[in-house]
Amino acid sequence: MVKLHIGFDDTDSPNGGCTTYIAALLVEKLSNMNVSFMDYPSLVRLNPNVPWKTRGNGALCLRISCQENSVDKIKETVINTVEANSELDYGGTDPGVVFVHEEVPQDIMAFAKKAEQSMLTIEETLKVAKRVNAEAVGFKKGRGIIGGLAAIGEDLSGDHTFEVIAYRTPENRELPRRVQVLSVKNMDKKSDFTFNNVDPETGRVLITPRGPDPILCGIRGETPEAVKQAYEMIKIDEPVERWMIFRTNQGTDAHLRRVSAVKKIQPYNPVVAQGTVSKAPRIIQGGHVIFAIKDETGEVDCAAYEPTVTLSKIARKLMAGDVLKVYGGVRASSSEHRLTINLEKMRILELVPKVSFVNPSCPECGKRTKSMGKNQGFRCDKCGFRSSQLKKQQVNEERGLEVGLYITSPRSQRHLTKPHCRYGKEKTGVPKELIENWHYP
């Protein structure tokens, strides 16, 4: 028996298709070829700020053990299935397939981390593939080779989650999804180890996508048992073609990388940066909030967009001097705006006092005095007391903010954003065995 790692990416388009669906097709086909799966299929979300991504920028990897004499047939099956199910007519769809034998080299693991946190070119990807003897097959421009190699390199031995995804039959893919809303809300109440099923502020169901792709619904959680049990609790009023459990880096903040200084922030990279609010928040058209932070090396704008809800409300209350740690993807500068961090999270570390000054109270009767003019003192209209010695009193106002972590509302969270409910549930390691019936068919 030999080990084979199969990575692939960039098969879909904004108009349809889905790389996870191809993975589900391949699992069915490979299961009939007497292979053994060493892990659940890996759904690896890469840098969400890459300009040419479609939707969630997810790459897939299948890790199998098989007879050596079946390897060529397996590779042929994979390549043909990817080609037949990719949106090749769309200009920006450039699928890639990568094969790595036996153990995954450290070079590919390091490459995977770069793909999650920065920008990579096809040229440097091919150099890495050649150096480690990975086999790469590309269609059109072959940009999917980047994701394919990265999916192989991300072994998810660090923090990870699971997702069960169900797929629609072809005749229903242009129609509204028929998943009973009440059943999803009931499942959400009973499932302690799933997350982001329902938006708590609006009640909107979050497990059903809105596009024309084959996905019917996807439920995320901490264990394969939890997501499968949750899936069995919801009620679906249309046929399900197939479903499968994936292991994934979703909800782990795997994309975020701490930068040591503001001047090191680069466009399109997801970053964690610390600084002091240097420019008070301003609200622009659409209700979006813009402010700036700085350190001794430079200054950068931060944007809390209106759909983030929680973050935009908090950002409005910030003041110059507040110390923050900000998390998000970096938008390149243009003629209309500076380099900007699009906020996913914000941790308030220190808050400056909000100070105001009020007229002093009358020392005779306690009523608030009135000014008699600049530098002329204060008088009390009630008892007639006057004094040029009284001074305005300093008052610390309530900020309406607390030190702590604030995260964008669930309905606007990215795939990789770690929600509040996952803090303290981080896990490491790979499964020793897979649960029974982790896919259908």
**Residue 113 counted as domain residue:** yes
pLDDT the model gives residue 119: 92
From 112-116, 220-224, 285-289, the region with the lowest mean pLDDT: 285-289
**Residue 226 counted as domain residue:** no
What's the rounded Cα separation, in Å, for the pair 52 and 69?
Answer: 38
- Residue 54 pLDDT class (50, 70, 90 cuts): low
Domain boundary among 107, 124, 155: 155
Q: What percent of the chain has pLDDT over 70?
A: 100
What's the rounded Cα separation, in Å, for the pair 40 and 157?
Answer: 13
For residue 125, what is the domain's CATH number?
A: 3.30.70.2200
**Residue 166 counted as domain residue:** no
**Residue 181 counted as domain residue:** no
Long-range contacts, stretch 257-266, CB < 8 angstroms, 24+ apart: 257/117, 257/118, 261/295, 261/296, 261/297, 261/298, 262/293, 262/294, 262/295, 262/297, 262/298, 262/299, 262/300, 263/297, 263/298, 264/297, 265/300, 265/330, 265/339, 265/341, 266/118, 266/330
What's the rounded Cα separation, in Å, for the pair 142 and 395?
Answer: 64
Reply yes or no on whether the pLDDT at 31 is more than 90: yes
pLDDT the model gives residue 307: 81
Asked if residues 225 and 247 have their Cβ atoms less than 8 Å apart, the reply is no
**Residue 168 counted as domain residue:** no
pLDDT the model gives residue 38: 98
At position 101, the amino acid (one-letter code) is H
Give yes or no: residues 8 and 151 share one domain: yes
- Residue 18 pLDDT class (50, 70, 90 cuts): very high
Instruction: Please compute the mean of the pLDDT values over residues 117-146 and round it to a whole number.
Output: 97
Give yes or no: residues 293 and 265 share one domain: yes
Q: What percent of the chain has pLDDT over 90?
A: 87
Structural domain tally of the chain?
A: 3
Give yes or no: residues 29 and 120 share one domain: yes
Give yes or no: residues 136 and 267 share one domain: no
Domain boundary among 116, 136, 155: 155
Reply yes or no on whether the pLDDT at 198 is more than 70: yes
Q: What is the pLDDT of residues 341-391, one digit of tens each?
A: 999 999 999 999 998 889 999 999 999 999 998 889 999 999 999 999 899
Give yes or no: residues 310 and 376 share one domain: no
Instruction: Please compute the mean of the pLDDT values over residues 47-51 and round it to a whole number.
Output: 90
Asked if residues 338 and 306 have their Cβ atoms less than 8 Å apart, the reply is no
Give yes or no: residues 286 and 146 share one domain: no
Give yes or no: residues 339 and 358 share one domain: no
pLDDT the model gives residue 52: 74
Domain that residue 102 falls in: 2-155
- Residue 133 pLDDT class (50, 70, 90 cuts): very high
Give yes or no: residues 282 and 327 share one domain: yes
pLDDT the model gives residue 271: 98
**Residue 165 counted as domain residue:** no
Give yes or no: residues 15 and 101 share one domain: yes
The SS3 of residue 312 is: helix
Give yes or no: residues 267 and 369 share one domain: no
Average pLDDT, the chain: 95
Give yes or no: residues 26 and 150 share one domain: yes
**Residue 123 counted as domain residue:** yes
For strand 270-284 and strand 288-295, is the pairing parallel, antiparallel, or unpaired?
antiparallel
What's the rounded Cα separation, in Å, for the pair 164 and 151?
Answer: 18
Domain boundary among 138, 155, 172: 155
Give yes or no: residues 361 and 268 share one domain: no
pLDDT the model gives residue 51: 82
For residue 410, what is the domain's CATH number?
A: 2.40.50.1010
Q: What is the pLDDT of residues 162-185, one digit of tens each?
A: 999 999 999 999 999 999 999 999
Q: What is the pLDDT of residues 395-440, one digit of tens each?
A: 888 999 999 999 999 999 999 999 999 999 999 999 999 999 999 9
**Residue 184 counted as domain residue:** no
